[in-house]
Structure 1
Amino acid sequence: MISIGNFFFKYRNFVFIFLYLALALPSPPIFTRAVFGSHYYLWPISIGLLITVTGQLIRGASIGLVYIVRGGRDGKVYAENLVTAGMFNHCRNPLYVGNILMLAGVGVLSNSVLYTAVFIPLFLFIYQAIVLAEEQFLRAKFGPEFEAYCQRVNRWLPKIQGLRATFEHHRFNARRWILKEYNTQFVWLAGISLVLLLTYPQLTGHDPELRNKILGGALLLLSIVYGGLKYAKKSGRMTAE
């Protein structure tokens, strides 16, 4: 598993591209008109958005509360420090939990049995392998400190107790969250827009022309915001502090 984890760690960014492309594969629906009635589409939309937004909130809190040096150097697991504060005081892998919920929510949003039953379990397997590889590195580098951390904090299931105190103790850095996450936010929001408008013609009254106008406008707006944030970051006009 560790060797598999090291392999996928190196190519983990490509995994997301593959998983987003998999949303386009035809699949039987999870929610059907026959079972849930004429407004069946409200079920995958509401449940999917709830799950995926929850994942994004967890990612946002993880990045905004405590500065994280993204793990990895030359395609290999690496870390300067053992981060145990902020959301990492409640779960050892809050960013990965956020990613899983984001993609699982998009799978439900797309109303795809294939995606939720095949690709999400595959994603979980890949992340489990990556985490085991990361833990091997952290255990070798930080020894008893990491072992004590593992005893105190769950690998996957977030601990709710003390969450309010965490937010009171740490100042949420919105600028850092924006600058670190604008790439993820762009892909995520663009994906949601595509899934909603292409999967559910009911939202635009079965009018392809209206759908295309809304979709084009949404993607254009997201692109403008993305370009502005990228320029602000590269030019130094906007910093995390």
Structure 2
Amino acid sequence: MVQIGNFFFKYRNFLFIFLYLALFIPFAPVFSEAALGPDYYRYPLLIGLLVTILGQLIRGATIALAYIVRGGKDKKVYANTLVTNGIFAHCRNPLYVGNILMLVGVGILVNSMLYMLVFIPLFLFIYQAIVLAEEHFLRNKFGSDFDAYTKRVHRWLINPIGLGKTISGMHFSWRRWLMREYNTQVVWMLCIVVILVFKYTHWTWDAATRNTWFMIAVLVLACYYGTIRYLKKSGTWPTV
């Protein structure tokens, strides 16, 4: 599993492209009109949005409270410090938990049985392998400190005890959240927009109105991306 994890760690960014594209493979729905009536679409809409937004909020809180250097080094697992504060004091992999919830949420939102039964389990298997590879590295580098950390903090489950105290007791850097997360946010939000505009045919608008709103949403996201990128690259917002 460690070798599998090292392989997928190297190519994990391409994994998300593949998983987002897989959302649009036509397949039978999880929530159907036959089972739930004409308003069946409200279930995937509400549940999907709640789950995927929760995932982004977990990622945001993790990055804003205690940033961990992501991306490895030379496309290999790497860490120069063992981060155990912030959300990492409540879960060993909160960023990955956020990613999982974001993808599960959009899977529910797109209402695809194929995505939920095939692609999400595949994604979970790959993430488990990546985490095992990371833990192998951390255990070899940090030894007993990492072992002690694993004994008090769960790999996947977020322990809510003391979470409020952790958040209130640390500086919340929303600027770091935006600077470190804007790429992920824009791709994620664009995916949601495409699903809502083109997969949900229940809105009372014609094709012209639909396309207009889609272009407006794309323009807003492009402006958001361009603004944050400029602030970061120009040094107006120094990297933190």
Provide the TM-score with structure 1 as the length reference.
0.98
Query: What is the CA-CA distance between 1:67 and the residue it aligns to?
Result: 2.2
Residue equivalent to 2:110: 110
Residue equivalent to 1:15: 15
Letter in structure 2 aligned against 1:140: N
Residue equivalent to 1:210: 209
Contact 1:91/1:156, CA 8 A, preserved across alignment: yes
Residue equivalent to 2:52: 52
Sequence identity (%): 59
Distance (whole Å) between structure 1 residues aligned to residue 186 and residue 150 of structure 2: 33
Distance (whole Å) between structure 1 residues aligned to residue 142 and residue 169 of structure 2: 25
Count of residues in Structure 1 that have an aligned counterpart in Structure 2: 240
Distance (whole Å) between structure 2 residues aligned to residue 197 and residue 118 of structure 1: 25
Distance (whole Å) between structure 1 residues aligned to residue 22 and residue 232 of structure 2: 31
1:76-126 deviation line (CA, Å, top 9, x unaligned) = 000000000000000000000000000000000000000011000000000
Contact 1:175/1:239, CA 8 A, preserved across alignment: no
Query: What is the CA-CA distance between 1:168 and the residue it aligns to?
Result: 1.4
1:189-241 deviation line (CA, Å, top 9, x unaligned) = 000000111111212x1521111111111011101110111111111112255
Contact 1:173/1:240, CA 8 A, preserved across alignment: no
Answering whether residue 39 of structure 2 is matched by residue 43 of structure 1, we say no
Distance (whole Å) between structure 2 residues aligned to residue 44 and residue 210 of structure 1: 23
Residue equivalent to 1:98: 98
Letter in structure 1 aligned against 2:125: F
Distance (whole Å) between structure 2 residues aligned to residue 71 and residue 142 of structure 1: 19
Residue equivalent to 2:140: 140
Answering whether residue 121 of structure 2 is matched by residue 157 of structure 1, we say no
Letter in structure 1 aligned against 2:70: R
Contact 1:71/1:79, CA 8 A, preserved across alignment: no
Contact 1:56/1:99, CA 8 A, preserved across alignment: yes
Distance (whole Å) between structure 2 residues aligned to residue 225 and residue 133 of structure 1: 35
**Structure 1 residue runs of 4+, over 2 Å off?**
none
1:106-148 deviation line (CA, Å, top 9, x unaligned) = 0000000000110000000000000000000000000000000
What is the root-mean-square deviation in Å for CA atoms of aligned residues? 0.9
Structure 2 unaligned residues grouped into runs of 5+: none
Answering whether residue 60 of structure 2 is matched by residue 65 of structure 1, we say no
